[in-house]
Amino acid sequence: MKLTFWEAAQATKATNNWNQWPDFDLTGLEFDSRLIQKNNLFVPLKGENDGHSFIQSAVENGAGAAFWSSAEKAPDDLPVLQVVDTLSAMQDLAVYYLKKMTPTVIAITGSNGKTTTKDMTEAVLAQQFKTYKTQGNYNNDIGLPYTILHMPDETEKLILEMGMDHANEIDFLSRLAHPDVAAITMIGEAHIENLGSRAGIAKAKMEITAGLIANGLLIIPADEPLLMPLIKKLPQTVNTFGLEKADCQAEIIEVQKEYTTFKIKGSSTLFTIPVPGKYNVGNALIAITIGKWFEVSEEKIQAGLVDFQLTKNRTEWLKSSTGIEILSDVYNANPTAMNLVLDSFSQMPTQGKRVAVLGDMLELGPDSTNMHASVNEHLNPTEIAEVVLYGTEMHALYKILTSKYQEKQIHYFKKEEKEALIKTVKSILEPEDMVVLKASNGMGLNEVVTKLLEI
């Protein structure tokens, strides 16, 4: 980190006599006292536990300084910066650091696929630039400034994932980061409980333009009519992506369980991504558009995409010791995303049978029952031989599928019956079978994945 103690004080408008301490270089920043290293700046956040109570741990681990906003007396032997709110101070420091280091900022949001798109974009830009991306799911008002303050000194392109649960959250993140390029992967139903409708979700995702620079680029899906009225008065360049009538348009050549190959309109270059499904082609089209915006050659874009590293639990192929192929997609879920995964999975070549294990999709609001039931249209017994449903909301889908599937082909378990679910899935699967697991993270299907790997 290229910051000094005095710089941090001035950037955050610290109110105490901080200049009584000699200036010194800060080596980093952490809000978890256990991660503190020598001369780090400790940021005690107030949550379920007040971070100020861990100041001694931070000091013992080598903290060089700390923000402070507690009524409790600050340590006398540690340089502290008295601020009104420690989180706001970290955010202000991130704004200052961006201005100082001047990386190009790329912001990515969407109801699904934003992490995969972030990974693809980083892989493409890394072919030509020094890059840094959001680590894990650090995509909120804490994680985003933390990411900024952890980027390596030499970073030229900073790829930031922006997440949200409510309106105005992405607006805040966008104004903090002032992106040069912004992308929306898709408009689904995630957090519809808080935003009222898909139109409300579209409006919330468009908040990513709040801080987008005037001569910047916005990338949106060509097949999303809810976004079209919202882009009419934007001063920025707007590019679309998709499989039809898009600025960056793909033709899918081949889909296998471990890769997808496609071309883009106007080019003979063959692109391959190490993940299945047309929805992942959409994510790749965003990365291609961003690469071209920054004048990365198609050959370099091709090289970046072919072996990009996917963040764990995002469309991850695994295999049990007996040869059962497991498609784990258990980090999040909404109807649009689940339907896309099922459509892709239904066409995957296999020597055995296909099985789907589907759990509740959370935060869908009052129309949750109908949304779960609508997944019925993407399940066919000639393609997916057996279906295992898990959770209160999935009972609506179970009732509909009983008229389509035979009794032995459809299974339902309440949330408290996870052990029974695991036992049943294990009894269903045989070597050479293929199984997909999809649900919101809160359903804990990652535990089921772990058990299936033991078969």
Q: Where are the domains of the chain?
A: 3-85, 103-306, 316-452
> How many Cα atoms are found within 13 Å in the side-chain-facing hemisphere of 372?
28
Which superfamily does 3-85 belong to?
A: MurE/MurF, N-terminal domain (3.40.1390.10)
181 near 219, Cβ under 8 Å?
A: yes
pTM: 0.87
Q: Which of 311, 385, 306, 372 is nearest to 345 (CA)?
A: 385
Residues marked as binding?
110-116
pLDDT score for 314: 64
Region 411-419: mean pLDDT is 96
| 272, 317, 336 from 259: Cα distances, Å | 7, 11, 21
| C-alpha torsion 95→126→319→347, nearest 10 | 100
pLDDT score for 258: 85
Average pLDDT, the chain: 95
Residues marked as binding for ATP?
110-116
Q: Under CATH, which architecture does the 316-452 domain have?
A: Alpha-Beta Complex (3.90)
> How many Cα atoms are found within 13 Å in the side-chain-facing hemisphere of 325?
16
Distance (Å, rounded) from C-alpha 315 to C-alpha 127? 24
Band of residue 202 on the pLDDT scale cut at 50, 70, 90: very high
Percent of the chain with pLDDT over 70: 99
pLDDT score for 313: 57
CA angle 117, 291, 340 (to 5 degrees): 30
* H-assigned helices in 178-316: 192-195, 198-205, 278-293, 298-306
CATH code reported for the domain at 103-306: 3.40.1190.10
Q: Please check the confidence at residue 139 and state whether its pLDDT lies above 60.
A: yes
For residue 359, give both structure tokens: 């759990």
Q: Residues 42-55: pLDDT tens digits?
A: 999 998 889 999 99
